[in-house]
């Protein structure tokens, strides 16, 4: 795992950095779900930076690229809104957003915190003797024109291929990994009302793979950091005013014969008083600051709409 300069503190410090739930097969039916309170209310959103501040961060990355410090940096913003009553229904709406490969809710037993993810991106999967990752880079509105524009964009393709190469190098570092190949390059998939470009990178495995070695090789994910990773992380620590918390990490499951971890993009968290969202994008030399600000807002919009759509009248 790459060691880097610490960034800003997490806005949800009560959520642990690592959390595991152990599932056991049983013939007993699950207990009835507890009754949920009505009256869910979501207050106004407050952003961690203004659009102008976000745009300036994009320009600072472009300046760093011009100096040769980095090739690409993923810049992420954060927003928070107060809420009242039980957030369970709102979180379930987030988890069922269309296009989510990893959709679910994880909550503390005492109700002190919870998170919901609707992530489309695989950080790492190990199954049947292969390890693979599915990096996503490149976003457009899910219209016919948006799809054509994404496929034709030299900027988006260059950004995407850069991260694919980084992920190839990450998998090649794994002990016992065979030749790394790109099984699929720049395939267009849909998440909510957005097109996104996804590739599949994989390698065969000879023998057992240690979980710690695997996580050291792939964490943090290249598509949410940049290239080179360590230099990108230094930029992130300098630029982002709020920590990423549970976003941009990993959430999934580990079985006796497989592992499947999604990158926790498109994730929201609640801490008992506020709900939090994160969104951003990869910045290259050709990035337009205003367009990058708009792209981050477009990625956060379905999450916030799902949360707002769960509002009900008080009982």
Burial 218-253 (b: 16+ CB within 10 A, else e): bbbbbbbbbbbbebbbbbbeebbebbbbbbbbbbbe
What is the C-alpha separation between 305 and 307, in angstroms, rounded?
Answer: 5
pLDDT tens-place string over residues 200-233: 999 999 877 888 899 999 999 999 999 999 999 9
Report helix angle 88-95 to 289-309, nearest 10: 130
Is the pLDDT at 254 greater than 70? The verdict is yes
Does 20 score more than 70 pLDDT?
yes
Of all residues in the chain, what percent carry a pLDDT higher than 90? 83
Dump pLDDT digits (tens) for 195-209: 999 999 999 998 778
Identify whether 191 is part of a domain.
Answer: yes
Q: How far is CA 149 from the centre of its chain?
A: 23
Tens digits of residue pLDDT in 61-117: 999 999 999 999 999 999 999 999 999 999 999 999 999 999 999 999 998 999 999
Indicate whether 311 pLDDT > 50.
no
In a domain, 17, yes or no: no
Q: Residues 206, 210, 215, 216: is their CA dihedral positive or negative?
A: negative
**Domain extent for 66:** 42-309
- The answer to whether residue 178 sits within a structural domain is yes
Domain membership flag for residue 225: yes
Residue 101: predicted pLDDT: 96
pLDDT at residue number 39? 83
Note whether residue 37 is domain-resident.
no
Angle between helices 289-309 and 51-67 (to 10 degrees): 140
- Residue 32: inside a domain: no
pLDDT at 3: 59
Span 6-31, mean pLDDT?
Answer: 83
Could you give the CA distance from residue 146 to residue 158 in angstroms, rounded to a whole number?
A: 18
Prior bond to 276 cis, omega within 30? no
C-alpha angle 287/9/303, rounded to 5°?
A: 60
As annotated, the active-site residues are 121, 137
For the chain, how far is it from start to end, CA to CA, in angstroms? 49
Q: Is 223 helix (H, G, I), strand (E, B) or coil?
A: helix
| Longest CA–CA separation in the chain, Å | 62
SS3 245: coil
**CATH code for the domain in which residue 51 is found:** 3.60.120.10
pLDDT for 24-55, tens place per residue? 777 776 665 554 556 899 999 999 999 999 99
Q: For position 103, what pLDDT does the model report?
A: 96
- For residues 187-192, give the mean pLDDT: 97
**pTM above 0.85?**
yes
Residue 313 has pLDDT above 50, yes or no: no
Lowest mean pLDDT among 11-15, 34-38, 108-112, 176-180: 34-38
Please tell me the total count of domains within the chain. Answer: 1
Question: 35 lies in a domain?
Answer: no
Query: What is residue 33's predicted lDDT score, i.e. its pLDDT?
Result: 52
Evaluate whether residue 24 is within a structural domain: no
**What is the predicted pLDDT for the residue at 23?**
76
Per-residue pLDDT for 315 more than 50?
Answer: no
Q: In sequence order, what are the residues at sequence separation of 6 or more whose Cβ sits closer than 8 angstroms to the Cβ of residue 278?
A: 76, 77, 78, 79, 244, 245, 247, 248, 265, 267, 300
Query: Residue 203 has which token pair?
Result: 């390698």
């Amino acid at each position: 795992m790459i060691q880097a300069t610490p960034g800003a503190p997490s806005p949800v410090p009560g959520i642990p950095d690592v959390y595991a739930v152990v599932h056991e097969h049983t013939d007993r039916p699950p207990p009835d779900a507890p009754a949920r309170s009505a009256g869910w209310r979501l207050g106004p959103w407050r952003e961690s930076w203004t659009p102008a501040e976000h745009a300036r961060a994009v320009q600072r990355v472009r300046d760093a690229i011009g100096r040769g410090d980095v090739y690409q940096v993923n810049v992420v913003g954060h927003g928070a809104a107060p809420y009242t009553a039980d957030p369970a229904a709102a979180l379930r709406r987030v988890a069922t957003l269309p296009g989510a490969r990893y959709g679910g809710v994880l909550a503390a037993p005492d109700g002190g915190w919870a998170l919901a993810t609707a992530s489309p991106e695989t950080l790492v999967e190990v199954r049947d003797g292969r390890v693979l990752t599915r990096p996503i880079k490149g976003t457009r509105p899910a219209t016919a024109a948006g799809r054509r524009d994404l496929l034709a964009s030299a900027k988006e393709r260059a950004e995407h291929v850069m991260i694919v190469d980084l992920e190839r190098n990450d998998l090649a570092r794994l002990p016992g990994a065979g030749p790394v190949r790109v099984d699929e390059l720049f395939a267009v998939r849909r998440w909510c009302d957005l097109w996104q470009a996804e590739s599949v990178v994989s390698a065969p495995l000879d023998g057992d793979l240690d979980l710690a070695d695997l996580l050291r090789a792939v964490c943090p994910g290249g598509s949410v950091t940049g290239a080179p990773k360590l230099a990108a992380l230094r930029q992130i620590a300098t630029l982002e005013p709020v920590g990423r918390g549970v976003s941009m990490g990993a959430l999934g499951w580990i079985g006796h014969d497989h592992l499947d971890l999604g990158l926790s993009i498109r994730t929201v968290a609640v801490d008992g008083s506020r709900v939090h969202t994160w969104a951003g994008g990869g910045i290259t030399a050709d990035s337009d600051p205003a367009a990058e600000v708009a792209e981050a807002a477009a990625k956060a919009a379905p999450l916030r709409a799902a949360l707002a759509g769960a509002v009900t009248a008080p009982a």
